[in-house]
Amino acid sequence: MPNVNTPDLLVIGGGNAGLCAALTAADRGARVLLLEKTSAAWRGGNSKYTRNIRVAGPEYTEDEFLADLVAVTGEGIDRELAALAVDRSRGAAEWMEAHGARWQPPFRGTLQLARTNRFFLGGGKALLNVYYDRAVRAGVEVRYRAEVASLRLANGRFSAVEVDLPQGRREVSARAVVVASGGFESNLEWLRRYWGGAVDNYLIRGTSANDGRLLRQLLDAGAMERGNPRGFHAVACDARSPRYEGGIVTRIDSVPFGIVVNREGRRFADEGEDLWPKRYATWGRLIALEPDQLAFSVFDSRVRERFIPPLFPPYEADSIEGLAGQMKVDPAALAATVQAFNGAVDPDLPYDIARLDGCGTRGLQPPKSNWALPIDRPPFFAYPMRPGITFTYLAVGVDRTARVLDGSGQPLENVFAAGEVMAGNILLNGYVGGVGLTIGTVFGQIAGEEAAAYARAG
Amino acid sequence: MPGLADLLEEANRQVTICNACRYCEGYCAVFPALERRSILREGDLALLANLCHDCRACYQACMYAPPHEFAVNIPAVMSDARLESYRRYAWPGVFAGLIARPGWAAAGASLLVGLLALVAVVLRAGLAGLFVAQTGPGAFYRLIAYELMVAAGLGVAAAAAAILVGGFYRFWRDAGGRGRTLLDWRLWTVALQDGVSLRYLGGGGGGCHYPDAMRPSPARRVYHHVLLAGFALSFAATVAAAVEQDLLGLLPPYPLLSPPVLLGVAGGLGLVVGASGLLVMKRHEMAAAPGLAGPRARALDAAFLILVEVVAVTGILLLVMRATAAMGPMLVAHLGAVGGLFVTAPYGKFVHAVHRFAALLHDQAETRTT
């Protein structure tokens, strides 16, 4: 690689966080080499499946944003970093626009995210296309099929990487490195460590490229471990989806419109606990804890048209027993569950899916706290669901400058991290829609700023 | 080119994915329109295909585009479906086959009309008269009878227009159009604005991803506008000539600074510049994105654009050489090309203008009622 023997900055990983780091550093005059593991066609990591970013603004205060984050993640959140992400999210949209992003109105029939999120036109791949184009025009050199085999670290300093290119293994040195290589969700062996055989029933709804190799290396080299090894952002996905890269179209959004039963035909959680945007990301984990990691969203014709239809058609039958046959669930058990549910529904309560309507069940365990309509209007429908893992919450610890921390909490001089590889500092459980993009964008920018400043000072 | 059943099946497969995703909703009218339908029938597909301006923004944005196993390629499906809609609404059906052979159709029709014009000239002025310089008022009509030229021109234009209007109506009806909306002038106003402004060639703001797949550019919209202006000015030149001749009693050829000539020259230049720009970009995009538009759609575009160029160039040459002995052959060539353009209008790319407008009109009606 004659041109890039000594870039100022190496960015490892070509998703949103990596591109934000590369663009920011290039804006500051740094010579940047970006190494993307996949081919150009598959570039963009999980970011290519995204569509919105959560940002604080006039209608969504920083306090509310931070409170939403703390509410889902709970104990263990790094409040300082979370507050930093929230604070800088206010300028994120403007920065994105300045780097070519375009916006569109929130979609019809989608999550009620208009107040808290900005939607980029065309979704994440369109955003990344613009970022790549801008990066190349700003002088960033992008290498595809460039898989980093190892980082050279000595005495808390980074010196070089060994990278596998189509033409063979090369060593590239740089003044600083930004690790933006994602989590380990595509690495089934690693997931199996925490989840055992259940992993065989998981769908990885994002990229197949995130094997966590650099996360592992940093941790093995003594970087501080943060986050939650069993934590992940996971939603309910159609069980018939491809193993990897299914993306948004495999997500099942019918849950609040009916009931959810497991393989045994029993309900196991409150389908109407809170507004779907706040709850959609709990169902991946809930299903992961059920037998065979399998569950079904069951509903009737009354609500059939009220949610975005996913990729595959639902099972359909004129009777609950017939539906159970297709689900391979005991018909008597499912019929009993539906009957008990219908018996606990109060038909006189007002129904409104757009708010917490209090139209809940009476005397049912678990309850359905809102939007409880009887399931009695044939034909009946069901979607089979599996946990769809989006990204993992095991992370390297970082400080406010996005520098990776060592085991004692001291920042490494020239090793930065951004995106999912460090999201676990802020996310340990649950998820709020669009915050992955917030973390990637904000910490990508911080890493780019700090790394460029470091490289120029050195 | 796949058959209609295969095309519908593939379109429905892809549109199901689009409907579950909706990331492209902000690009154009196609995506909101497909979200209003759960299953596409033939008329729906024709509507979507003609709402699609082939700007390709959705393809570049699509994380399910090849090599993803979902293999979503909306521009390619829509390109095939547009061609299918041209074929389906062509009348009489026996000429629909011309759409699959646009080069032969354009060349054949032009040669045929040119031959008829040649016969008319020879019958009137003799073979030698074809090569005699003619000047002064009525020069053209000493070669070809005024009544014949007007009757043939109006006849062919009227027949083409009637056939296109019939296609417009059947397209609109199959798309779900209902009687009253055809009389709603507000819908016509908005649809005309969308059509004339080429709104959706904006591709969501940055322009078309065409000819460069990664850097959107307004170039296609600009050249298309220039082409459209060329047509409009040429039409205006014809009207101006009719006024001078039939109302003011002035026979052509007209002086260089007269309205018909000025308008005609401007129109001809617009046609040449617009068509050339679009043709050059087509060469680039064919190399850059071979999988997006089908070869037949490209051939249809190219045949039309080349014929437009021939019309414009022969028209300009006729103007330049009108006082010389070459006027006769140039007149025959120009009449042949113009005639070919009109004769093939209902069986070639010109149908695009009619279908596009019908699609925009119906889309307006739909968005107002939902």
Model confidence pLDDT, tens digit, residues B280-298:
999 888 888 777 888 889 9
The answer, yes or no, to whether residue A110 has pLDDT greater than 60, is no
Do residue B50 and residue B196 come from a single domain? no
Q: What is the pTM of this model?
A: 0.94
Give the percent of chain A with pLDDT over 70: 97
pLDDT band at A217 (very low <50, low <70, confident <90, very high): very high
Do residue A219 and residue A282 come from a single domain? no
The answer, yes or no, to whether residue A347 has pLDDT greater than 90, is no
Pick the last residue of a domain from B67, B88, B109.
B88
Strand partners, A380: A300, A317
Give the percent of chain A with pLDDT over 90: 90
Do residue A352 and residue A397 come from a single domain? no
| B228 to chain A, closest Cα gap in Å | 29
Check if the beta carbon of residue A201 is closer than 8 Å to that of residue A385: no
Do residue A397 and residue A344 come from a single domain? no
Residue A129 has its nearest CB partner, among B17, B24, B214, at B214
Residue A309 has its nearest CB partner, among B19, B64, B214, at B19
Pick the last residue of a domain from A329, A352, A377.
A377
Which residues of B fall within a CB distance of 8 Å from A121? 26-27, 61, 204-205
- Is there a contact between A41 and B67 if contact means CB atoms under 8 Å apart? yes
Q: Which two tokens stand for residue A386?
A: 């599996």
- Is there a contact between B64 and A42 if contact means CB atoms under 8 Å apart? no
Check if the beta carbon of residue A322 is closer than 8 Å to that of residue A362: no
Residues A28-47 have a mean pLDDT of: 97
Which residues of A fall within a CB distance of 8 Å from B20? 248-249, 308-311
- Mean pLDDT of all residues belonging to chain A: 95
Three-state SS for A363? Answer: coil
Which residue did the predictor score with more confidence, A2 or B299? B299
Give the angle B356-B359-B362 at the CA atoms, nearest 5°: 150
Do residue A371 and residue A396 come from a single domain? no
| pLDDT attached to residue A2 | 40
Strand partners, A164: A147, A169
Do residue A272 and residue A373 come from a single domain? yes
Do residue B215 and residue B150 come from a single domain? yes
Three-state SS for A228? Answer: strand
Interface of B with A in 49-68 (CB under 8 A): 57-58, 60-64, 66-68
pLDDT band at A3 (very low <50, low <70, confident <90, very high): very low
| pLDDT attached to residue A109 | 54
- The residue among B13, B15, B16, B21 with the most chain A CBs within 10 A of its CB, best to mutate, is B21
- Is there a contact between B69 and A242 if contact means CB atoms under 8 Å apart? yes
B6-27: pLDDT as tens digits: 999 999 999 999 999 999 999 9
The answer, yes or no, to whether residue B170 has pLDDT greater than 90, is yes
Do residue A363 and residue A415 come from a single domain? no
> Is position A221 within any domain?
yes
Residues B96-110 have a mean pLDDT of: 96
Distances (CA, A) of B153 to A90, A457, B244, B317: 65, 78, 17, 20
The answer, yes or no, to whether residue A1 has pLDDT greater than 50, is no
Q: What CATH number is given to the structural domain containing A373?
A: 3.90.700.10
> Is position A235 within any domain?
no
Do residue A28 and residue A92 come from a single domain? yes
Of A33-42, A384-393, B49-58, B199-208, which gets the smallest average pLDDT?
B199-208
Residues A156-165 have a mean pLDDT of: 95
How many helices and strands in chain B, by DSSP H and E?
13, 0
Helix pair angle (B146-174, B351-369), 10° resolution: 40
Which residues of B fall within a CB distance of 8 Å from A310? 20
Check if the beta carbon of residue A211 is closer than 8 Å to that of residue A304: no
Between CA A216 and CA A35 the distance in angstroms is: 18
Do residue A372 and residue A406 come from a single domain? no
DSSP string, A185-220: TT-HHHHHHHHGGGGGG-EE-S-S----HHHHHHHH
The answer, yes or no, to whether residue B185 has pLDDT greater than 80, is yes
Pick the last residue of a domain from B33, B61, B88.
B88
A168-203: pLDDT as tens digits: 999 999 999 999 999 999 999 999 999 999 999 999
Residues A263-292 have a mean pLDDT of: 93
Phi, psi for A350 (deg, rounded to 5): -70, 140
Between CA A13 and CA A142 the distance in angstroms is: 10
Q: How far apart are the first and last CA of chain B?
A: 34
- Mean pLDDT of all residues belonging to chain B: 93
Domain of residue A324 covers 253-309+319-377
Domain count, chain B: 2
Do residue B318 and residue B245 come from a single domain? yes
Residues A414-436 have a mean pLDDT of: 96
Residues B101-118 have a mean pLDDT of: 97
Do residue B218 and residue B354 come from a single domain? yes
Of A223-227, A394-398, B106-110, B247-251, which gets the smallest average pLDDT?
B247-251
- Is there a contact between B69 and A123 if contact means CB atoms under 8 Å apart? no
Residue B21 has its nearest CB partner, among A105, A245, A249, at A249
Strand partners, A168: A165
Check: complex ipTM more than 0.90: yes
Please name the residue of chain B whose CA is at the shortest distance from the CA of residue A47: B63
For chain A, the 3-state helix, strand and coil shares in percent, each to the nearest 5, are 35, 25, 40
Do residue B101 and residue B37 come from a single domain? no
Q: What CATH number is given to the structural domain containing A407?
A: 3.50.50.60
If one counts every other C-beta atom within 10 angstroms of the C-beta of residue A225, the result is 16
B38 touching chain A per CB within 8 A: yes
Would you state the torsion angle of the CA atoms of residues B167, B223, B298, B2, taken in this order, to the nearest 10 degrees? Answer: -50
Do residue B131 and residue B220 come from a single domain? yes
| pLDDT attached to residue B210 | 86
Do residue B272 and residue B225 come from a single domain? yes
Indicate the DSSP class of residue A313: P
> Is position A156 within any domain?
yes
Domain count, chain A: 2
| pLDDT attached to residue A190 | 98
Give the angle B332-B338-B343 at the CA atoms, nearest 5°: 115
The answer, yes or no, to whether residue A378 has pLDDT greater than 70, is yes
Pick the last residue of a domain from A328, A346, A377.
A377
Domain of residue B17 covers 4-88
Residue A122 has its nearest CB partner, among B38, B61, B70, at B61
| pLDDT attached to residue B370 | 66
Query: Residue written as tokens 């709402």?
Result: B51
Pick the last residue of a domain from B44, B71, B88.
B88
> Is position A383 within any domain?
no
| pLDDT attached to residue A276 | 84
Q: Please list, in sequence order, all residues whose beta carbon lies within 8 angstroms of the beta carbon of residue A141, skipping any fewer than 6 positions away.
A: A3, A4, A7, A32, A33, A34
- Is there a contact between A102 and B206 if contact means CB atoms under 8 Å apart? yes
Do residue B190 and residue B51 come from a single domain? no
Query: Residue written as tokens 């997931």?
Result: A191
Closest Cα partner for B204 from A123, A436, A184, A62? A123
The answer, yes or no, to whether residue B118 has pLDDT greater than 70, is yes
Do residue A136 and residue A274 come from a single domain? no
Between CA A197 and CA A195 the distance in angstroms is: 7
> Is position A248 within any domain?
no
